[in-house]
Homo-oligomer: A and B are copies of this chain.
Amino acid sequence: MTMEDGTSMSPGYCRDTDYDALQWDTREDCEVRQILDRIADKWSLLVIALLDQRSLRFTELRRTIDGVSQRMLTRTLRQLERDGLVSRTVYPAVPPRVDYALTPMGVTLHHTIRALVTWTEEHQNEIAHARAAYDIRAVAEQEGAEREAAERDAIAREVLAGGSRTR
């Protein structure tokens, strides 16, 4: 058991000392943080989405996801299994066969995540607009600052030239 990942085994709860409803996310050993890190990592969400349709074998997942390395797929599946979101079934046979499926809890998580996906779909245009507007503003400010700097330079030069002339 290499225990390569960091999720500590001992406490696992938000520090309840000084608990503040606003601080449920205060990093390290907070449950919300951990789940968020899991679903936001590069592959977990994909795996969950795929397994929602039907159970799949290791290689089926590997082929379907494309881009994932064996190492990462294994790690992802182990994490999900450890959290009770995915079940792993080994069929003793040659060649070996291992099926992965969503647990009931995994299914409920997927439902919840769908809400977020829906939100994103509904707001992607608004977000794109906001970004475009922001970038335009940023460019404008940039240019404004440069123009002001140039003006200050010009004035400074003029003053210096005038100073040497009046001397």
Contact = CB atoms under 8 A, between A and B. Distances in A.
B139 A84 contact: no
Identical chains bound together, number:
2
Given A40-B37, A84-B129, A117-B24, A108 B123 contact: yes
A26 B67 contact: yes
Contacts of A144: none
Contacts of A26: 46, 66-67
Contact of A115 (B45, B115, B120, B134): B115
Interface of A: 1, 7, 9, 12-13, 22, 24-27, 31-32, 35-37, 39-40, 42, 45-46, 49-50, 53, 64, 66-67, 81-84, 105, 108-109, 112-113, 115-117, 119-121, 123-124, 126-135, 138-139, 142
